[in-house]
Amino acid sequence: MKKLIVLLVVGFVATTAMIAIAANGPENIKMSAKIGDVDFAHAQHQSKISDCTECHHKGTETPKCTGCHGVKDGIPKAKKAFHKQCKDCHKKSGGPTKCKECHVK
Ligand code: HEC
Ligand code: HEC
Ligand code: HEC
Ligand code: HEC
């Protein structure tokens, strides 16, 4: 009986962790650009920035920036939106701001 409870607890913890990973999205996101692709360490950023809406400003129900930016009229183009969000925070927090620190060939 004790063994069964242990197994159930382990199973529950593992399942919860898996759901958390799925809801948090990919650990790393490769974004393609002609001058060099950007390797965005999503999970690493999540561990530093606890509030998802700092980036997902319209909420995490619609997590894809490119679902709006560059698709709908009257919304800043994707390049502008990414550059503004990434660089504005980096200027404050000491992250990279030079082209080649993000765009790697
Ligand atoms: C530092 C900024 C930042 C933070 C903080 C952040 N995200 Fe993201 N997230 C992004 C970017 C950028 C993408 C890529 C969006 C795209 O491809 O248009 C993304 C993608 C995602 C995706 C995948 C979207 C898809 O369908 O491909 C999910 C899910 C997600 N984020 C959830 C979260 C959750 C939940 C949190 C908080 C725990 C979080 N994110 C925190 C920037 C961030
Ligand atoms: C903090 C990281 C970061 C820095 C610094 C940065 N970029 Fe970007 N850039 C991105 C991201 C993220 C995208 C979006 C890529 C995508 O949509 O797939 C992007 C998109 C672009 C695009 C559009 C994609 C394409 O192929 O047309 C161009 C052009 C670009 N950047 C040029 C630059 C130049 C030039 C600099 C330096 C003055 C620079 N970037 C600095 C992160 C950065
Ligand atoms: C559901 C649609 C939607 C999604 C998803 C979305 N945005 Fe936006 N975004 C907007 C709209 C609309 C605006 C114009 C101002 C406003 O209404 O907030 C905007 C404005 C911005 C601005 C300000 C631009 C400026 O010139 O001042 C930035 C930066 C930005 N978004 C980045 C992002 C990033 C990065 C993501 C993904 C992590 C994202 N947005 C996801 C709709 C969206
Ligand atoms: C809300 C704040 C915030 C936003 C938004 C943000 N970052 Fe960062 N980023 C950071 C911080 C903090 C660091 C770590 C600085 C350090 O430790 O030196 C960092 C570091 C990085 C690094 C260097 C990683 C390393 O291991 O050296 C890259 C590349 C990067 N960010 C890309 C991006 C891209 C691309 C975006 C936009 C899609 C973005 N970041 C948006 C806060 C942010």
pLDDT above 60 for 12: no
The residue written with tokens 């502008």 in the block is 80
Ligand 3 center–CA 67 separation, angstroms: 10
Ligand nearest to the CA of 42: 1
List alpha helices for the chain, DSSP H.
Answer: 2-24, 42-48, 78-93, 99-102
pLDDT above 70 for 21: no
Q: How far apart are CA 65 and CA 77, in angstroms?
A: 10
CATH tag for 28-104 (out of 3.10.105.10, 3.40.50.20, 1.10.579.10, 3.90.10.10): 3.90.10.10
Domain spans, the chain? 28-104
Interval 39-79: pLDDT, tens: 999 999 999 999 999 999 999 999 999 999 999 899 999 99
With the most atoms of ligand 1 within 8 angstroms of its CB, the residue from 32, 42, 82 to mutate is 42
Which helix H or strand E contains 34, and what residues bound it? none
Q: How far apart are CA 27 and CA 96, in angstroms?
A: 19
